Structure 1
Amino acid sequence: MTQSTTPSTQSSSPLPDAFSSTLSGLFNQVRPAIVQVRNERHGGGTGIVWQADGQIITNNHVVPQDGEGIQIHFTDGRTLPARVLHRQPQFDLALLKVQAEQLPTLPAGDSDSLRVGEWVFAIGHPWGQRWTVTAGIVSTMSTRQVEPEVTIPYIKSDVRLAPGNSGGPLLNADGQVVGINAMIFGGDLSVSIPSNVVSAWLKDLPRSQAILGVGLQRIDLPTAIRQQLADHSDNGLLVVSVVERPAAQQAILLGDLLLEIEGQPIQGVHSIRQNLANKAPGQQVTLKIARAGKLQTITTTLIATE
């Protein structure tokens, strides 16, 4: 069953109208968090926004090589470049990153609770047809041996998949991701990687540290700045380089002088590191700066280390 974005005056579906209405609502709810992944050499597939800071899950075979000009297409018309953060070829998983914040995400469901016969749905871009939904039922939970001592569980269903669906979500009736669509085995059975496998892999990845995304140089504070500050050291940190971000997020500028972070005087780079130690990429921090000789308070969003 394929979801059309144009409603029909007469329904030919054998399913009850209430079911069709619920499926339409589910489609509209989850669609913004599902993206199209394209690269220069190997066509495209589908991806899922997993974290609001721009982390996207797809299949490893969708982006088999680094540096291939990976492009992510969003429902709002944006196209952003992406890079590969991590790969897991055995599970056919890849984690991508785009420079964006506050993206819509999909919640991960518990794949271990899936039952044979339960309704599931896939959304992707089969044969380049963007944001197409198909429905089916869970046929069986199976395993596949990828190495002599490595066995991976899989979800098999009769959801219709085609090239372009790879990396997209298998959803339950609550709109939760219970699997990542990976490939088609013999017959009509489609295969998905369980969401619990994906979550466990991501949990074990090295954690990115939160940083301001600037290069700093310690300098003596100008006399005019010292006179505006009480009980402050005679040193400050001059911004000498800035990581490129979207213009709307570029709060810190070249030449800014960092004086305080979260209300605490900055004694040096070590004091910034201490303040950011328990923060995560995507969080915001408040800075007191001197810009063009005037004190200002700004808010900036932390980014992740490479």
Structure 2
Amino acid sequence: MKKKLLLASTLIASQLFADSINFNMVEKNPTRISPNTNNQILSFNNSIKDSMHSIVNISAKRHVSASMDNLPLQMFNDPFFKRFFGDQFGNQFKQNRIQRSLGSGVIVSKNGYIVTNSHVIENAEEITVTIGNDTTEYTGKLIGKDSDSDIAVIKIEADDLEPIKFGESSSLKIGDVIFAMGNPFGIGSSVTQGIISALNKNKVGINRYENYIQTDASINPGNSGGALVDSRGALIGINTAIISKSGGNNGIGFAIPVAMVKDVVTKLVADGKVVRGYLGVVISDLDNELSKVYNHKSGALVLDVSQDTPAFKYGLKRGDLIYAINGKKIKDRAALQNVVASFKPNQKVKLEVERDKKNIELNIVLGNRNTLAQIESNNGRILGGLRVANIDPNMQKQFRLAHDSKGILITDVEPKSKAEKVGFQAGDILLQIEDVEIRNYATIESALKKYKNTHKRVYVNRYGQTILLVIK
């Protein structure tokens, strides 16, 4: 049976202010031990019991327009289930309904800031939070979310909460004993145990920025946004997804590492959004054949350079192999993407590049991804409520597109938006806006500027047929 990528439901935590969170760090490089007498029982209760008080249940309520025959979405009360089964369904039986989803979150400050997955609170109109086994309900306020990393922060009005302690991503090792904590389905806090199966997983196909911890601890629907902790109870990741054939747990779960969590949460608390640096290249990994023509055997290979981008301005060329940034080794395409995104716009970085078997250095001032990526970003919406993305093999599989499909894909239509009322559907491929043929994000940006505040004819490909829609 074909594997399906399942996201365990999560809820995000609270709106943070930069000065209200003090990441309480545990000691680096802990000593690892094992039982050494016949009269010892290996138990981690004392280590993890405090962390359990930091786990919350999140309930999100939203109005959606869904197909009557969309059985997977109705059968599984998960806010992101459409990503697993495909987004395009017939609209002949559409009806408005209220969708409720459950997930988990982690308290990160005494005064009520909570971190969770972005997909847990996606489009939520009401967010309700309960802590541990306490039935007291709190209203959650969204502080900020970053769909590219699948992290969000919410806040509840409460004092003297028990924030979780933070671990260090750099000290993790494969084989470490870990625990997945969550509050699934509102039945109270629970813990499952496993080990770190792998680190730095980045080809899962869930988010733009991936650097996952893989674990065999059970992460089930409702556990998304919960805590992955080490044997001291220190947070090392936020539980996010599983790979499963049936929807149950098959021992392949993924968590966002704590280093990325801290970086994104800090930015969301300070600004309510995440602004990333931008380079402007199309990149790929080295394979066995390509590595024969390069001295360096790891790095990110530049396949193309977009015009009017920092990469173009400062001299990157097609065929360059980027093997380090500011002295940090770049292993592959995903590593380059994550490192560039960790810098701020207008920040100067030094790229170490192999070109024609010679090593050169390029000093580049990064651009602002949010400027051009308001269209490209998962956070940005265009044409009255559309999210769009480049078509890649993952998109072809997710939306059941033809293998030769190319262009810009509508990945989501905001419920009750102008775009939904006009008739746009997730899975439509943008072909043309008025007289501008849509080939990439730049052509969308050009068309929207050219026909700003006017009614526009938009041509889309839907299941192989061209459809014309008009929207202002």
**CA-CA distance at 1:64 after TM superposition:** 0.7
1:221 corresponds in structure 2 to: none
2-side partners of 1:16 and 1:184: how far apart? Answer: 37
Distance 1:170 1:146, change over 3 A: closer
Match of 1:34 among 55, 59, 66: 55
Which residue matches 2:254?
191
1:49 shift after superposition: 0.5
Equivalent in the alignment of 1:123: 181
Deviation at 1:178, TM superposition (A): 0.1
Q: How far has the Cα of 1:58 moved from its partner?
A: 0.7
Q: Distance in 2 between matches of 1:128 and 1:207?
A: 30
Find the counterpart in structure 1 of residue 130 from structure 2: 73
1:16 and 1:133 map into 2 onto residues whose CA distance is 25
Which aligned pairs between 1:83-162 and structure 2 lie closer than 5 A?
Answer: 83-144=141-202, 151-162=209-220
| 1:103/1:206 CA distance change after superposition, 3 Å | closer
1:262-288 deviation digits (Å, cap 9, x = unpaired): xxxxxxxxxxxxxxxxxxxxxxxxxxx
Counterpart for residue 166 of structure 1: 224
Q: Is the 8 A contact 2:57 2:184 kept in 1?
A: no
Match of 1:24 in 2: 45
User: Residue 244 of structure 1 corresponds to which residue in structure 2?
Assistant: none
**TM-score (structure 2 length as normaliser):** 0.38
- Mapped partners of 1:17, 1:78: distance in 2: 39
Gaps of 5+ in 1: 1-14, 209-306
Secondary structure, aligned partner of 2:170 = helix
Cα distance, 1:78 vs. partner? 2.0
Which secondary structure state, in structure 1, belongs to the residue aligned with residue 42 of structure 2? Answer: helix
Report if the CA contact (8 A) 1:82-1:96 is conserved: yes
Contact 1:27 1:133 in 2 (8 A): no
Q: Does 1:63 align with 2:84?
A: no
Q: 1:144 to 1:35 in 2, by over 3 A?
A: same
Which SS does the other structure have where 2:46 is aligned? helix
Q: Which moves more between the two structures, 79-88 or 125-134?
A: 125-134
Q: Which residue of structure 1 lines up, in the alignment, with residue 237 of structure 2?
A: 179
The residue identity in structure 2 corresponding to 1:49 is: I
| C-alpha separation in 2, matches of 1:16 and 1:56 | 40
* Rounded Cα–Cα distance in structure 2 between residues aligned with 1:17 and 1:34: 29
Residue by residue over 1:155-187, the C-alpha shift from the partner in whole angstroms, topping out at 9 and shown as x without a partner, is: 001001100110000000111100000010244
Whole-Å separation in 1 of the counterparts to 2:170 and 2:49 = 26
- Once residues 150 and 163 of structure 1 are traced to their aligned partners in structure 2, the CA distance between those partners, rounded to angstroms, is 22
Residue 150 of structure 1 deviates from its aligned partner by 5.2
Contact 1:119 1:135 in 2 (8 A): yes
1:200 corresponds to 2:263: yes
Return the alpha-carbon distance in structure 1 between the equivalents of residues 192 and 269 of structure 2: 35
Partner of residue 265, structure 1: none
Q: CA deviation at 1:45?
A: 0.8
Q: Give the SS at the match of 1:200.
A: helix
Aligned CA distance change for structure 1 residues 17 and 86 (closer, same or farther; 3 Å): farther
Give the counterpart letter for 1:202 in structure 2.
Answer: V
Deviation (angstroms), 1:16: 8.2
SS of aligned partner of 1:19: coil
Distance 1:63 1:17, change over 3 A: farther
Contact 1:145–1:151 at 8 Å: present in 2 too? no
Judge conservation of contact 1:42–1:62 (CA < 8 Å) in 2.
no
- The alpha-carbon distance between structure 1 residues 16 and 50, as it changes in their structure 2 partners (threshold 3 A), is farther
Q: Which residue of 1 aligns with 2:431?
A: none
Number of residues of Structure 1 aligned to a counterpart in Structure 2: 191
Provide the rounded CA distance (Å) in 2 between the counterparts of 1:163 and 1:198.
21
Percentage identity across paired residues of the two chains: 28
Secondary structure of 1:205's counterpart equals helix
Structure 2, unaligned runs of 5 or more = 1-37, 62-98, 245-249, 272-472
**Residue deviations 1:123-147 (CA, integer Å, cap 9, x gap):** 1134544211100000101332589
| Greater Rg over alpha carbons, structure | 1
